[in-house]
């Protein structure tokens, strides 16, 4: 895949393509080694620790598993979208532009946000005089409050039913299970990447192999988070005597 640009805010560096950024990172690993370690390092042809090779293979395997999980999830999402329900609730002010408070309800908003928008709609109705009149008689005020509560309860019932239908669609399409698989595979890939970043190279050959792998095309620099960079920096620090 083509190189991507590393945002300066993410890397704390000027914009670089990801290969050059990780290459510089590999140089930093080598530069962080003690002089004694470098002087005593074996030549490039030296043996490489089986632990480093194991960590690389573990990440490669975890990455492949994540790729497969994402592919399955994408396929399941297509099936889910084919039966994904809509929310039949019609906003009392649908079609009337009254400001930022109005947005159509949609499953993707989440149940809490949908209900919050119902409340905002009712509040707006009150503010422009279409709802509860604070100057109404006590009897009329009680009627208006009861009507508002009924509207809210009816809307909430429709929303709850729509989200129950949505959950059934997620389960029957396999999308819910596929998303869980992606989450688990992503966690496993992250753990494998962190462990590899934390590996302390003993020779320049290991530095080269580790840097080459971390700058390979199948690894996107956007995946690196603060904990990964910290692990790399800790691994490159001079070992205490």
pLDDT tens digits, one per residue of 7-21: 433 333 333 333 333
Residue 90 confidence class, pLDDT cut points 50, 70, 90: low
Which token pair is 58?
A: 């573990």
The C-alpha atoms of residue 215 and residue 221 are separated, in whole angstroms, by 8
User: For the chain, what percent of residues have pLDDT higher than 90?
Assistant: 36
The least confident of 26-35, 92-101, 142-151, 228-237 is 26-35
Residue 96 confidence class, pLDDT cut points 50, 70, 90: very low
Q: What's the confidence (pLDDT) of residue 216?
A: 87
Strand, coil or helix: what is 27? helix
Residue ranges covered by each domain of the chain = 1-49+202-241, 107-175
- What is the residue-averaged pLDDT of the chain? 75
Strand, coil or helix: what is 162? helix
* pLDDT tens profile 128-149: 555 556 666 788 778 878 888 8
Question: Which residues make Cβ contacts (< 8 Å) with residue 29, sequence separation at least 6?
Answer: 201, 207, 210, 211, 232, 235, 236
* pLDDT tens profile 172-199: 999 999 999 999 999 999 999 999 999 9
Q: Which H or E element spans position 5? A: strand 5-6
Question: Regarding predicted confidence, which is higher, 160 or 40?
Answer: 160
Residue 159 contacts residue 152 (beta carbons within 8 Å): no
Burial group, residue 65, by CB count within 10 angstroms (0-12, 13-18, 19+): middle
Question: Regarding predicted confidence, which is higher, 56 or 150?
Answer: 56
Read off the pTM.
Answer: 0.62
Residue 102 confidence class, pLDDT cut points 50, 70, 90: low
pLDDT reading at 48 higher than 90: no
Residue 6 contacts residue 25 (beta carbons within 8 Å): no
The C-alpha atoms of residue 29 and residue 197 are separated, in whole angstroms, by 10
Residue 114 contacts residue 88 (beta carbons within 8 Å): no
User: b/e for 108-128, b at 16 or more Cβ within 10 A?
Assistant: ebebeebbebbebbbebbeee
- Residue range 142-157: mean pLDDT, rounded: 84
Residue that the structure tokens 């919050």 belong to? 116
Q: What's the confidence (pLDDT) of residue 60?
A: 96
Q: What's the confidence (pLDDT) of residue 237?
A: 78
Which token pair is 210?
A: 């580790």
Q: What's the confidence (pLDDT) of residue 46?
A: 56
Q: What's the confidence (pLDDT) of residue 198?
A: 94
């Amino acid at each position: 895949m083509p190189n991507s640009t590393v945002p300066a805010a993410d890397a704390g560096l000027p914009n670089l393509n990801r290969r050059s950024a990780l290459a510089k990172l590999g140089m930093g690993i080598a530069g962080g080694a003690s002089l004694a370690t470098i002087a005593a390092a074996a030549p490039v042809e030296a043996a490489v620790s089986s632990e480093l090779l194991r960590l690389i293979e573990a990440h490669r395997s975890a990455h492949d598993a994540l790729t497969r999980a994402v592919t399955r999830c994408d396929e399941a999402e297509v099936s889910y979208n084919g039966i994904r329900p809509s929310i039949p609730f019609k906003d009392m002010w649908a079609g009337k532009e009254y400001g930022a408070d109005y947005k159509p309800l949609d499953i993707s908003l989440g149940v809490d946000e949908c209900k919050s928008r119902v409340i905002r709609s009712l509040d707006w109705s009150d503010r422009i005089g279409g709802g509860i009149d604070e100057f109404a008689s006590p009897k009329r005020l009680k009627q208006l409050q009861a009507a508002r509560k009924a509207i809210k309860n009816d809307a909430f019932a429709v929303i709850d039913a729509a989200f129950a239908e949505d959950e059934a669609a997620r389960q029957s399409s396999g999308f819910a299970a596929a998303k869980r698989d992606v989450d688990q595979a992503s966690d496993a890939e992250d753990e494998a990447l962190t462990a590899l970043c934390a590996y302390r190279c003993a020779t320049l050959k290991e530095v080269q192999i580790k840097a080459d792998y971390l700058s390979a095309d199948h690894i996107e620099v956007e995946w690196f988070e603060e904990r990964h960079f910290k692990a790399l920096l800790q691994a490159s620090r001079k070992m205490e005597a």
